[in-house]
Amino acid sequence: MPRDRVRELLDAVLADTAEGRDDMARRAYASPFHFSRQVRLGTYESPVALRRRVILERAAWRIGQGESVTEVALSEGYDTVEGFSRAFSRAYGRPPSSARELTTYWLPAPNGIHFHPPMSLWVDAPEKTGTSMEPSILLVHHDVDDTRYLLELAGKVSAQDFTRPMLPRHVVLSFDGPEESIAAVLDNIVWSKEIWLASIDGCDTPARTGRDVATLVARHEAVVPRWLGAVSRISEEGRWGDVLIDALCDPPESFILGSVISHVLTFSAYRRQVLRRMLHSAGVAADDGDPIMWLHQRHQPAHERHEL
C-alpha cells in the first residue's frame, strides 16, 4: 500500500508518551521545523494545538462516561486538576463537571480529525484535511496557504520597503481605507477574516493589533483554525443560504453566509496578487499564486516537494 504520511504524522502527534513538539518530530523522523510544517500542511493545525484538542475531546467523552474529573485530568497528562479545568472550560465554555451535558464532545476543527470511541481517532479524509476537489473548499484552503506563503516572503523585505507606500492612493474597498504598502495589504487580508468571524460568532469587534510581520503571522495563525472551522461547519450543515445579522455594522445589516465567504475570498485573491507586485518591487520573487500548482505540490510526496 502507498505510504500514508499524514497518518504517520498523526500517530507521532497523538502518541500517549509524546513529550512536546521535539519529541513528536523525533518519532516522525523529521526536524521540528519540517515536522510542524508538514502537520500544518496536512491538517491546518499546529501539532501542539491538534494534540491538545483531541486530548480534550477524549477527556470530555471519558468524563461523560462516568470517570472522575481528577482521574481523567491526571491520566491525560495534566499536572494539576486546576490546569485541566481551565483548559477544558476555555475549550467548551463550561467546567469539566458538566461534560455529561454536552451534545457532542467534538470541538471546532479546521479538519476532520477528532477523537472517536472506541477507537482513539477519527480521520475523515481526504476531504476534511483540505484536499477536497470541490472548488469553493479548494479556494478557502488555497487562500490560507497562499497568505502564509506571502507572509513568509514579507519577512524577507526590508523594514523600509515593508511600510513605504508603493501604490499611492490604492484603495480596494472604501471602508477599509488606503492600502498603499505591503503592511497595509497584509493587514487587511488578516483583518477581513478576524472581523467577519466576529460577526458570524456574535462577538464584539476584535482588537486590531500591530501589523509588523511577526504580529501579522501570529494573527494569521490564530485566526486560520477558527476560520476553517467556521467554513467547515457552514458547509457540513448546509447553511450557505442562512442570513447573518451583522450587529457590528452601524446600523446592523443582514448578509447571506455564502456571500460573506465569497466576499472574503474575492478580495483576498485580489490583494494577494497585488502583494506579489509589491514584493517584486521590493526585490523579492514570488510564484504566480496558481491554485493548480498549489494543489499539485500538496499531492506530491513530501520528499519531492520544493519549499515555496
Q: Which residues have CB under 8 Å from 220's CB, separation 6+? A: 147, 148, 151, 190
Mean pLDDT over 156-182 rounds to 95
Q: Which domains does the chain have, with CATH numbers?
A: 5-129 (1.10.10.60), 135-304 (1.20.120.450)
Reply yes or no on whether the pLDDT at 225 is more than 80.
yes
User: Of 145, 92, 142, 120, which Cα lies nearest the Cα of 10?
Assistant: 120
Reply yes or no on whether the pLDDT at 9 is more than 90.
no
Q: Per mean pLDDT, which range of 15-19, 95-99, 121-125 is the poorest?
A: 121-125
Mean pLDDT over 274-293 rounds to 95
Q: Which residue has the higher pLDDT, 182 or 300?
A: 182
Burial tier of 81 (Cβ tally within 10 Å: 0-12, 13-18, 19+)? middle
**Which run of H or of E encompasses 137?**
helix 135-154
